[in-house]
């Protein structure tokens, strides 16, 4: 990527299910090499937005581009992105190593091309000694580590992470945060959805707040906190105020 266009760009992105509007006219422009914190209450439309951006759900209206690829072109998109959904797609009958090899096969990438990176990440996350165990014997934290590795082992341009620290102990969660920072330092764009606001405040360069399917505020964590209260608010306080009275954000 040469920085000539945003890593993620949407225009009036909308998704309706019958009479229900899950995502309502969201327009985003996320630069390359940043961590973008995507926040919102339960039911705000975050997961639906991420599913549209990764080509898993077709928008009702609007357009979305990720890594210079229209999100309707999933066959071309899949090699450029990584996805860690809230429920990781893992197969219990496989070992951790087999799962990572399978993920590479799905992208038509030889295991030899990604194995050094995958095994290095497993070592960093203290998973290397468990890679030859079946996943049905993994704890939630071990499953989460495996899912993170398979999302980034092919060095994608853009990574989508939905609650990536779920199930991790404090030490592993800290290591994962450091890995996310390393990803952006290397030029990867990270689209991060989480309810753990201190994580966003610590590592996100920009933040978007979604409420009732609409983007109600956007800016750096400092800009969001400066815009509410008496200027001494943290991101949690800003989030609560913005989602309580989203019209005030604009």
Q: At what angle do helices 96-106 and 111-124 cross, to 10 degrees?
A: 140
CATH number of 31-45+92-249: 3.40.50.300
- Give the span between the Cα atoms of 165 and 176, in whole angstroms: 7
- Give the span between the Cα atoms of 179 and 16, in whole angstroms: 35
Q: What is the largest CA-CA distance in the chain?
A: 55
Q: Where are the domains of the chain?
A: 31-45+92-249
**pLDDT tens digit at each of 250 positions of the chain:** 444 689 999 999 999 999 999 999 999 999 999 999 999 999 999 999 999 999 999 999 999 999 999 999 999 999 999 999 988 889 999 999 999 999 999 999 999 999 999 999 999 999 999 999 999 999 999 999 999 999 999 999 999 999 999 999 999 999 999 999 999 999 999 999 998 899 999 999 999 999 999 999 999 988 888 866 555 668 888 888 888 755 544 4
**What is the secondary structure of 102-170 as a DSSP string?**
HHHHHTT--HHHHHHHHHHHHHHTT-GGGTTSBGGG--HHHHHHHHHHHHHTT--SEEEEESTTTT--H
- Give the span between the Cα atoms of 213 and 149, in whole angstroms: 30
Contacts of 207 (CB under 8 A, 6+ apart): 36, 37, 38, 39, 200, 217, 218, 219, 220, 221, 224, 235
């Amino acid at each position: 990527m040469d920085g000539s266009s945003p890593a993620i760009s949407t225009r009036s992105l909308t998704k309706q299910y019958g009479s229900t509007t899950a995502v309502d006219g969201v327009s985003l422009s996320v630069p390359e090499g940043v961590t973008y914190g995507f926040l919102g209450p339960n039911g705000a439309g975050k997961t639906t937005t991420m599913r549209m951006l990764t080509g898993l759900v077709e928008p009702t209206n609007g357009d979305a581009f990720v890594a210079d690829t229209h999100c309707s072109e999933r066959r071309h998109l899949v090699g450029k992105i990584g996805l860690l959904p809230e429920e990781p797609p893992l197969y219990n009958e496989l070992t951790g190593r087999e799962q990572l090899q399978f993920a590479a096969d799905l992208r038509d990438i030889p295991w030899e091309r990604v194995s050094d990176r995958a095994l290095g990440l497993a070592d960093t996350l203290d998973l290397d000694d468990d890679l030859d165990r079946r996943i049905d014997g993994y704890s939630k934290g071990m499953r989460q580590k495996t899912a993170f590795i398979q999302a980034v082992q092919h060095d994608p341009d853009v990574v989508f992470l939905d609650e990536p620290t779920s199930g991790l102990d404090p030490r592993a969660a800290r290591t994962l945060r450091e890995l996310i920072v390393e990803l952006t330092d290397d030029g990867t764009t990270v689209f991060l959805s989480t309810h753990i606001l201190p994580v966003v405040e610590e590592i996100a360069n920009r933040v978007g707040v979604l409420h009732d399917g609409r983007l109600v505020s956007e800016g750096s964590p400092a800009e969001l906190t400066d815009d509410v209260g008496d200027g001494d608010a943290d991101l949690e306080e800003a989030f609560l105020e913005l989602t309580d009275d989203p019209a005030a954000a604009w």
